[in-house]
Amino acid sequence: MDVNKWESNEELEYFREYLRIPSVHPNPNYDACLEFLQKQAKLLNLPVEVYYPLNKQNPVVILTWLGLEPELPTVLLNSHMDVVPVFPENWTHPPFGADIDEKGRIYARGTQDMKCVGMQYLAAIRSLIRHGVRCKRTIHISFVADEEMGGRQGMRPFVHTPEFRSLNVGFGLDEGLASPTEEFPVFYAERSVWRVYFKISGSAGHGSLLLPNTAGEKLNYILGKMMALRQVQVETLANNPELSIGDVTTINLTRVEGGVQSNVVPPQLTAGFDCRLALDVDHQEFEAKLHKWCEEAGGGIELEYEQKQPRVKPTSTDASNPYWLAFKKAIDDLDLKIKPQIFTGGTDSRYIRQVGIPALGFSPMNYTPVLLHDHDEYLQADIYLKGVEIYTKIISNVANV
């Protein structure tokens, strides 16, 4: 294997330089990202703007490649600059070293999630510019902060700013996931995340008695109902091989709190659930059901939501969406296999879709184990470079709709 061909590749150099910036939670410093991206903008001869939708700690960097018809709705190529924490002792390579091994595997936090995609967008645009290509639509390449914390200081407020509206975005691309097989997943929707706490009050007293209406009994009732609902979803998924996890509602008990000491019946117990509502769930009905169970359990239960996302319209993957057709044509022309599906977790795409803009989640990483947020996150150099080619085709297609 010729390691030198990877060591000396211009695009891999930029990618690795970006990976070496430790924009890592809990205190990501984005200054180095800004400096790096401004340098990239200069190399590409593209204008760059920095916005601060919420505060000075969380910038949004946008490079713009003007189209031949700039009055048309634009294409947004989004990625996030932040990465999740690392446990260096569990890594075989330094997590911010971007080492390449003899098989061309580049190791660093962010190789998959998602510094790869941000740099592949730029590499694709560099290639198009070098080939003298001009696209019909203007392209904005955005680099946002705080995605890994839910985008509350990044994309979520940004889509509601006049600056975002002035970008006039008609279609967005954002992150997907790696795939160990030949097939690439493409994400056109996300489930709605509800983090709900049942704050359960009950009769308190001595542990030697049989008091009525205790918090423990009520918790038992609620748990039974939630777990039964969970079981239905488990079976639905098991009985239909066509379905993937994004097609069903997931329910998990994630927190249980309460109690004073072991011989005292507590006045309050709290149970927290992470629920991801499938696209076909009626939110009002679901909430009414939770309230009904609280009453049936004996009352005195308050529902508190840490997160309660609205239902967001999925992006169409049919002829009604010309951007989808352009995307699909690129995929077909390159003879790639894709599987459109609903994303399991949450990405910034949901905020883009929430303001009515169609968006697809796609990271061109096939034959790659899914290592986001894991130790030894890596991406193989040739897969990365192939991804640049794929984006070159996709970008020129969707920007010429």
Chain contacts with Zn ion (rule: CB under 5 A): 113-114, 175
Cα four-point dihedral sign 284, 285, 287, 291: positive
Q: Which is nearer to Zn ion, 251 or 365 (CB)?
A: 365
Residue 24 DSSP one-character state: B
Q: Indicate the pairing of strand 105-107 with strand 378-380.
A: antiparallel
- Taking the complex as a whole, how short is the minimal distance between the CB of residue 193 and Zn ion, in angstroms? 15
What is d(CA 30, CA 144) in angstroms, rounded to the nearest whole number?
10
Q: Is 175 annotated as a binding residue?
A: yes
Q: Is 25 annotated as a binding residue?
A: no
Residue type at 227 in one-letter notation: M
Residue with tokens 């909430």: 287
What is d(CA 239, CA 231) in angstroms, rounded to the nearest whole number?
12
- Taking the complex as a whole, how short is the minimal distance between the CB of residue 261 and Zn ion, in angstroms? 43
Q: Which of 11, 82, 174, 377 is catalytic?
A: 82
Q: Which is nearer to Zn ion, 116 or 388 (CB)?
A: 116
Q: Annotated catalytic, 147?
A: yes
Q: Which is nearer to Zn ion, 146 or 175 (CB)?
A: 175
Q: Is 274 annotated as a binding residue?
A: no
Task: Using DSSP, state whether 308 is helix, strand or coil.
Answer: strand
CB-based burial label for 341 (10 Å; 0-12, 13-18, 19+): buried
What is d(CA 118, CA 236) in angstroms, rounded to the nearest whole number?
37
Residue with tokens 């939630």: 226
- Taking the complex as a whole, how short is the minimal distance between the CB of residue 321 and Zn ion, in angstroms? 24
E strand or H helix that includes residue 320: none
Q: Which is nearer to Zn ion, 84 or 133 (CB)?
A: 84
Q: Is 373 annotated as a binding residue?
A: yes
In degrees, rounded to 5, the angle at the alpha carbon of residue 252 between the alpha carbons of residues 250 and 257 is 155
- Taking the complex as a whole, how short is the minimal distance between the CB of residue 187 and Zn ion, in angstroms? 12
Residue nearest to Zn ion (CB): 113
Q: Which is nearer to Zn ion, 12 or 372 (CB)?
A: 372
Q: What are phi and psi of 188, to 5 degrees?
A: -115, 0
Q: Is 10 annotated as a binding residue?
A: no
- Taking the complex as a whole, how short is the minimal distance between the CB of residue 363 and Zn ion, in angstroms? 9
Helices (H) and strands (E) in the chain, counts: 11, 17
Q: Which of 2, 35, 49, 147 is catalytic?
A: 147
CA distances (Å), origin 173, targets 142, 187, 236, 329, 362: 10, 10, 31, 16, 7
Sequence ranges of the binding site: 80, 113, 148, 175, 373
For the annotated catalytic residues, the residue numbers are: 82, 147
Sequence ranges of the binding site for Zn(2+): 80, 113, 148, 175, 373
